[in-house]
Structure 1
Amino acid sequence: MSEPKTSPRLEQPCFLVICRDGENSAQKRTQFLKGHLDHVEKNWEKYVTAGPVRIPGSEPLVGSVFLVLADTLNEAKALMEGDPYIASGMYETIEYLEFTNSVGRFIGGKIWESAEAVAERAAGGPTKLSKGEQ
């Protein structure tokens, strides 16, 4: 396996949105599918990735996960509230967490130069970068 190259951090904040289905979600998924797909296609550039989730080994969907690029939490919530799946009350719970894209295929490698370079952030230190820092 190859070593990951160092990639720049995303300039815009990213929010992990975890949505868990409520009762009658299968019916609402069918009813609001076209509107949901229209919404995500219209706004596709605001998503790092998104999709439904299942319990491993099971077929039924139990929710959805979205990685949303937005300048603020309120902006991320406004985007999500425009999705018919959310507007219809399909999800029982919706959780928003700020997320740092740190390593993987989607970002083309890793964002750190060395363990020492990210030690302060890993220990809960500041997450905002100074000018010129990657």
Structure 2
Amino acid sequence: MGSLGRMLEHKMPFYLFYCRDIEDRESAAQIRRELLPDHLGYVERNMSRYAVAGPNRDKDAAYRSSTFVIKADSFAEADEVMQGDPYVEGGLYQEILNVEFVPMAGDWVGGAAWKL
């Protein structure tokens, strides 16, 4: 059974954050470059909180957004993790969409959750 499958057994909630970069592409790229070491350090210090995290590329292979799936007991707890990220604090994102994410199938889940 995969690690997500084990977490599903314990009913650990997941919260998905889709973070869209600011429209000014040059400024966004500059923020990403300048804050990357701090951002990565923050992620490393909070690694146990992330089910998965990473940037998203557009059709031109340019970074335009990021996705984070955070393990937490509540939305407020997950949001606290997000708000502490240097990319958030540094103004990289113009919009952060968030929802509770329920992983039900796939490699990360260890198959089909309804069969685990």
**What is the TM-score of this pair, normalised by structure 1?**
0.75
Matched AA of 2:32: R
2:82 counterpart of 1:90: no
Return the alpha-carbon distance in structure 2 between the equivalents of residues 15 and 41 of structure 1.
Answer: 18
Deviations 1:18-46 (A, max 9, x none): 00000211000011101100010111111
Structure 2: gaps of 5 or more residues? none
Residue 14 of structure 1 aligns with which residue? Answer: 14
Matched AA of 2:84: G
**What is the TM-score of this pair, normalised by structure 2?**
0.86
Equivalent position SS for 2:114: coil
Matched AA of 2:35: F
Question: Higher strand proportion, which one?
Answer: 2
- Sequence identity (%): 36
Equivalent position SS for 1:112: helix
Structure with larger Rg: 1
2:75 counterpart of 1:61: no
Structure 1: gaps of 5 or more residues? 1-6, 114-133
Aligned length: 107
Within 5 Å, give how 1:5-84 maps onto structure 2: 7-8=5-6, 9=8, 11-22=11-22, 23=24, 24-55=27-58, 57-84=59-86
Q: Which runs of 4+ in 1 moved over 6 A?
A: none
Deviations 1:21-74 (A, max 9, x none): 00211000011101100010111111110100012x312101100111011111
Return the alpha-carbon distance in structure 2 between the equivalents of residues 58 and 108 of structure 1.
Answer: 32
